[in-house]
Structure 1
């Protein structure tokens, strides 16, 4: 799964990396948690646009927005089979911008948090889906991160991992054209994750309220 991540990069680097014109009210975040605002890139016609979505998908048909806390991740293996996701796969795909994520490795006595990054790329994007939920005059824009079985590197840490899109696959995922759910599923399953690195960090990161550089500092050997 993916339950915490970071976005610390400079705003200008993000604009350049994802070919977008502006980001309103950008703030770096050392400990992004479910329920918070997350920076995403979507297609606005033929143009790309960066903006904030709430992490935790609330589908347009939902009766209660609290469902979002149960839908921070979506399994890529079955997402094309679920009615709640099929429409989103067709035309509501997004990039969720990040530069590392956290995962907790189980040990005999506790869970050790680790910060995981790409070895050769600072900024990257998770494959995501988004939707708009309406309650009277109130509109809520939310998203979920797609996950898959862990690769060889991640298996030692956790059995699931977020789908990190290779740079040359981002525009295909964001294509303004509709994508058949089966084709979207095949696309997601074909993704090979770039080389990853990881280091232990303090349990300080366990509390979502903690949001400073202590979250990412490597533990001494």
Structure 2
């Protein structure tokens, strides 16, 4: 699974597909985060009603068909192998894929990051829950896959990553064979140019969370 990640970069270092659609007020309030945890807002790139935009999504997917948002599980991860069939995920898989920028992810407090120190994309799905009173809640989950040689000693799952340059392909409204073709991205990615570091600080310490996204 992927239960924590970080986004420790300046606003100007965010990937261009996201930076190009980041509203001015979001730029002003953006701040790097050393540790992003479930139930917190995460910055994401989504395609919403045909328009690509930046979004803040609560981490923990709330399916649109749930009647009571306070009841039931809020999965932070979804197994990529089964999302095309699972009731909770298949609608989002077909229509609401998203990209979540990160600079590192954590498995059992072990840190994994690119050796070049740059930003990468976590593959996600998102949903919009609409309440009877007109309220809206946008939520997301991170896709996972089987681990590569770097992660396997520490955890049986790892996040699906979307390579730079495939952002449009991942977000595009595709169906049938084109949608199935995206499943090739679920394969474990190469550990080359990645670094494993020791356990991360535990959540709750004052030196862990350094600012907020917005």
TM-score interval, smaller chain: 0.7 to 0.9
Question: Does 2:94 align with 1:99?
Answer: no
Question: Does 2:165 align with 1:168?
Answer: yes
Q: What's the counterpart of residue 180 of structure 2?
A: 183
Contact preservation (8 Å) 2:60, 2:76:
yes
List structure 1 segments (4+ residues) > 6 angstroms apart after TM superposition.
none
Residues 11-47 of structure 1, C-alpha deviation per residue, up to 9 Å, x if partnerless? Answer: 0111536452325232221111000000000124665
TM-score calculated relative to the size of structure 2: 0.83
Q: Distance in 1 between matches of 2:6 and 2:120?
A: 11
Q: What's the counterpart of residue 199 of structure 1?
A: 197
Contact preservation (8 Å) 1:163, 1:193:
no
Q: Please list every run of 5 or more consecutive structure 1 residues that lacks an aligned counterpart in the other structure.
A: 105-112, 216-221
TM-score calculated relative to the size of structure 1: 0.81
Number of residues paired by the alignment?
203
Residues 104-154 of structure 1, C-alpha deviation per residue, up to 9 Å, x if partnerless? Answer: 1xxxxxxxx221102245101111000100122210000000000111111
Which of the pair has the greater relative contact order for Cα pairs under 8 Å at 6+ separation? 2
Alpha-carbon RMSD across the aligned residues, in angstroms, is 2.5
SS state of the match for residue 88, structure 1?
helix
Residue of structure 2 aligned with 1:154, choices 133, 144, 151:
151
Q: What's the counterpart of residue 210 of structure 1?
A: 205
Which has a greater percent of helix?
1
Q: Please list every run of 5 or more consecutive structure 2 residues that lacks an aligned counterpart in the other structure.
A: none
Q: Does the C-alpha gap of structure 1 residues 187 and 68 become closer, same or farther in structure 2, counting only changes over 3 Å?
A: farther
